[in-house]
Structure formats: C-alpha cells, structure tokens
Amino acid sequence: MQAFSCETPHRVLLCSIRPFRFLQLPADSRGLQTDLRDFGPYRRSADFATLPQVSETFRLGRVAGIPIGMNWSVLLILWLISWSLAGSYFPAVLPGHQSGEYWAAGLVGALLFFASLLAHELGHAIVATHLDIEVEGITLWLFGGVSKLNSEATSPRDELAIAACGPMISIGLSLGFLLAAAGLNAASAPELIVGVGLWLGTVNGILALFNLAPAAPLDGGRLLMAWLWHRRGNRLEAVVSAANAGRIFGYALIFVGLVEFAVGLGLGGLWLVFLGWFLLSAAQFEKSQAVHLNALAKHLVGELMTADPVVVPENLSVADLLDDFVLSHRFSSFPVQASDRQITGLVTLAQLRLVPAVNRERTCVKSIQTPISELVLTTPAEPADQLASRLASSADGRALVMEHGTLVGIVSSTDVMRSIDRLMIRQEA
C-alpha cells in the first residue's frame, strides 16, 4: 500500500494505495538477448501510466518479519508536520505555553503520526503475508508509506481482507488515542499531552474515512473492486470500474482545490490539486495494469521468450567474451554454463563495464556473473502474466526459461512490454 499525508493547521489529507509493480522496468532491464541497436530508452505505449519509484535510504529494521525502510524525504515531512503543529496549531488551540513545549509536542505528534501510518501499512502487509502474497517490504517516504507486494489477491475475499485491514487499524488507533486523551484529561495530565492525543485521534479518523472513499486506488476503491469482482465474477471489469471511480474522485479534488485557491482560502487548495492529480494518475495506472495483465493472461512464456539463447563458458575471460560474443552477437546478456553444461548464472553488459580494461584479460566470467540462485526461473508453460508479476521482484528484470533442467530461452521486462504493445495494437485493429 502507499499512504500519502500532509498536515497544515487547517487540514490533514491522507490516502492509502497499493501500487502495482511488475511493469516498472528496472534501470538495467533494457534488452536481453536483443539487438543492441534497440538500446535507446524503450518507448512505452501512450496509455501506460507510471508512478514514482520509492527508494529506501535507511533500513529501520523488521516488524513481523517485514523489512521496514525510510526514504530521506521522511525527514522533510517530519519537520513540516512538527513545525506546523508547534508554530500554528497548538498555539492556536492551547495558548499560553513556551515555544520549547510546543516543539516537543509537535515532534512527538509527528513521530506518532508516522508510527500510525506504519501500523496502517503493516495491517495490509501482514494480512497479505498470511494470504501467501509475498511482501518485499515497507518504505516510509514523503507522502507516508508504500508496501511493496509482489502479486495480487487471487479472490474477492482475499482482496477484501487486505484492503479492509488498514482502515480498521486506523479506526482502532483513532479511538485508542481519543480514549487515552480523555483518560489523561480526567487525570489532570498536562493539556499539551492531552492535545497531542486528541490530534492523533482526529488525524487517524480522517485517515480511515478518507481512505474508505469508494475510489481506486484508495482502500475504499479496493473494497469496491472486491465487491464488484464478487458480484460480476470478472476481476478486470471490477478493476476498471473502481479505477474510473478513482478518476472521477481525482478530478473532483482538483476542482475543489482550484476553487479554494481561486477564492483565497490559502495554499491548502494547491495541496488538494496535487493530491487529486496523483490519485488520477494512480487510478489510470491501476486500470492500465489490469488491462495489460488480462491481455498477458491469455499467453504463455514460450510465446514471449527469445529461444535458444547464446551461452558462454564460465571460465571465459571478460576480454574474450567482448571480442568473441558481444561484438558478434549484439546481445546485452549471456547465460553462463559450467564445463558440465549446467547453467550457473547470467552476465550482462552492465557487469562487463564495471571491469577495468586492464583487468579484462585475467578476470573470468564466473567471478562477475549473477548466480542462478538470484535469477528468476520460469518454464515455457507458465502464464505470461504470472511471470510479469514475478519479474517485478527481480533486480534487473530478467528470467531464464528452463525445461527439464535445460535452458530453452530468456525473457526480459522489455520483452513483456513489447508483447503488450503488440497485443494492444492487435485489439485496436
């Protein structure tokens, strides 16, 4: 899931979405056993929407076995929320305190706010894990958090369970913070501590309610999709309907934001515009992904792969590989085999470039290859949509196609994208 948040003294806007990942091409995935003349940036189909990649700057640890990371942008939003609470919100609702006290309350509130968002994301991720959906990790960033799921729910019931858990946790946190604030107030605790509890209870309630809006890619849109999927028996139609609702919701937010800004109600209107634009893009992304997956589902890996790839011996030097294979075959990647003809890994042009020219004669391919244990393996009979989803978790977007222990082909993310383009053109004809 991906959560977005921004706090001002007047408004807290939050949402949570789960982004699809398989068609986000890795930076080094262009061309695998393909003509090097095609090495320019691949031109994707015009209707394919994209979402920003969220990189992990710091690893915070693990919760329930799920890796938790943080992007540097969290520090920016943490300061923004703390500053907004300390400089405007708390002085307005609880006047009469020292500046240091306001900043302490603001910092505690901001930290607990991100902890609440993490709990929301963990809810989605833990339920997904119990449903045998691999969770790569959660990364906190500028707009909240993103849970990286490597596949989708296989039934409406599973989709419902994953989507509902996040808002339920937010509602529980909201009630918990409000009850804690009431108890602290009854015990005559300092009013700033009570104020932090009330603010956290309020923003978690807003988080839950906003995310329950029936518009993809919000959690409410996922719930709508699960219901439509169950009712119609067609996942694609359900995703498209929920995504269309998300587009309408995004346009509505943009309109309201522009009106607010035009009548002079402050910069909060611009935030609504930005949020609406992002939800609009995310809804289009989800719709495109569903259409593309549906097209791929009718085809097998054997139809997409490059058959009978050129392999190189593992004891070959980098210099010989460049002279005897790279220049003559125009491929960007080569499977590597041992003396017993067993495939041991894959070597790419990117790896070759890292070897200094003076060391190429004495550096063998085996020492720089990606071992087969780290590669995605598939078979010609695997449905293409399933492989596409698995390629998302691959560092370089490549898969070796094996049959009865023998290498028969290679598939890359680029192959998948090109196949999608051809299928889309065929459907338009």
Q: For residue 5, what pLDDT band results from cuts at 50, 70 and 90?
A: very low
Q: Give percent of the chain above pLDDT 70.
A: 85
Q: For residue 54, what pLDDT band results from cuts at 50, 70 and 90?
A: low
The CA distances from residue 121 to 21, 147, 400, in Å, are 17, 6, 33
- C-alpha 150/C-alpha 285 separation (Å) is 16
Q: Give percent of the chain above pLDDT 90.
A: 52
Residues whose CB is less than 8 angstroms from the CB of residue 73 and which lie 6 or more positions away in sequence, other chains included: 141, 142
18 plus 34 within the same structural domain = yes
187 plus 313 within the same structural domain = no
User: If DSSP codes are grouped into helix, strand and coil, which group holds residue 296?
Assistant: helix
Both tokens assigned to 105: 């309350």
> Among 172, 145, 119, 208, which Cα is nearest to 1's?
145
What's the confidence (pLDDT) of residue 26? 37
282 plus 143 within the same structural domain = yes
Task: Tell whether the model's pLDDT for residue 11 goes beyond 70.
Answer: no
287 plus 342 within the same structural domain = no
What's the confidence (pLDDT) of residue 169? 95
Give 412 or 36, the one with higher predicted confidence.
412
Q: For residue 3, what pLDDT band results from cuts at 50, 70 and 90?
A: very low
Task: Tell whether the model's pLDDT for residue 19 goes beyond 80.
Answer: no
324 plus 416 within the same structural domain = yes
* Structure confidence by residue, pLDDT tens digits, 257-271: 999 888 887 677 887
403 plus 337 within the same structural domain = yes
Three-point CA angle 37, 38, 43, nearest 5°: 155
Last residue of a domain, one of 267, 296, 325: 296
Give 244 or 31, the one with higher predicted confidence.
244
Q: Give the bridge partners for 139, in sequence order.
A: 69, 146
275 plus 313 within the same structural domain = no
The CA distances from residue 76 to 30, 86, 91, in Å, are 34, 15, 22
Q: What's the mean pLDDT in 225-245?
A: 92
Both tokens assigned to 21: 């990942």
404 plus 263 within the same structural domain = no
* Structure confidence by residue, pLDDT tens digits, 362-377: 999 999 999 999 899 9
Domain limits for position 347:
301-428
What's the confidence (pLDDT) of residue 135? 87
229 plus 315 within the same structural domain = no
Q: Which one-letter DSSP state was computed for residue 328?
A: H
- C-alpha 347/C-alpha 369 separation (Å) is 5
- C-alpha 186/C-alpha 405 separation (Å) is 70
229 plus 347 within the same structural domain = no
Task: Tell whether the model's pLDDT for residue 332 goes beyond 60.
Answer: yes
Task: Tell whether the model's pLDDT for residue 17 goes beyond 60.
Answer: no
132 plus 159 within the same structural domain = yes
Task: Tell whether the model's pLDDT for residue 30 goes beyond 60.
Answer: no
What's the confidence (pLDDT) of residue 236? 85
274 plus 384 within the same structural domain = no
- C-alpha 96/C-alpha 82 separation (Å) is 18
Task: Tell whether the model's pLDDT for residue 121 goes beyond 60.
Answer: yes
> Among 303, 306, 307, 308, which Cα is nearest to 385's?
303
What's the confidence (pLDDT) of residue 295? 78
Evaluated on CA atoms 315, 320, 322, 325, the torsion sign reads negative
Residues whose CB is less than 8 angstroms from the CB of residue 174 and which lie 6 or more positions away in sequence, other chains included: 201, 202, 204, 205, 207, 208
pLDDT mean across residues, the chain = 83
- C-alpha 284/C-alpha 79 separation (Å) is 32
Q: What's the mean pLDDT in 143-164?
A: 84
Give 295 or 109, the one with higher predicted confidence.
109
Peptide bond between residue 217 and the one before it cis (omega within 30 degrees of 0): yes
* Structure confidence by residue, pLDDT tens digits, 156-200: 999 999 999 999 999 999 999 999 999 999 999 999 999 999 999
What's the confidence (pLDDT) of residue 27? 36
Last residue of a domain, one of 261, 296, 331: 296
What's the confidence (pLDDT) of residue 44? 29
Which strand (E) or helix (H) includes residue 171?
Answer: helix 156-186
Evaluated on CA atoms 279, 285, 288, 294, the torsion sign reads negative
Task: Tell whether the model's pLDDT for residue 48 goes beyond 80.
Answer: no
Per-residue 3-state assignment (H helix, E strand, C coil) for 51-114: CCCCCCCEEEEEECCEEEEECCHHHHHHHHHHHHHHHHHHHHHCCCCCHHHHHHHHHHHHHHHH
Total tally of structural domains belonging to the chain: 2
Work out whether strand 333-337 and strand 312-313 pair parallel, antiparallel, or are unpaired. Answer: parallel
- C-alpha 149/C-alpha 142 separation (Å) is 19
DSSP string, 193-238: HHHHHHHHHHHHHHHHHHHTSS-TTBHHHHHHHHHHHHHHS-HHHH
Last residue of a domain, one of 229, 262, 296: 296
CATH of the domain at 312: 3.10.580.10
Catalytically active residues are 121
* Structure confidence by residue, pLDDT tens digits, 71-120: 888 888 899 899 999 999 999 999 999 999 999 999 999 999 999 999 99
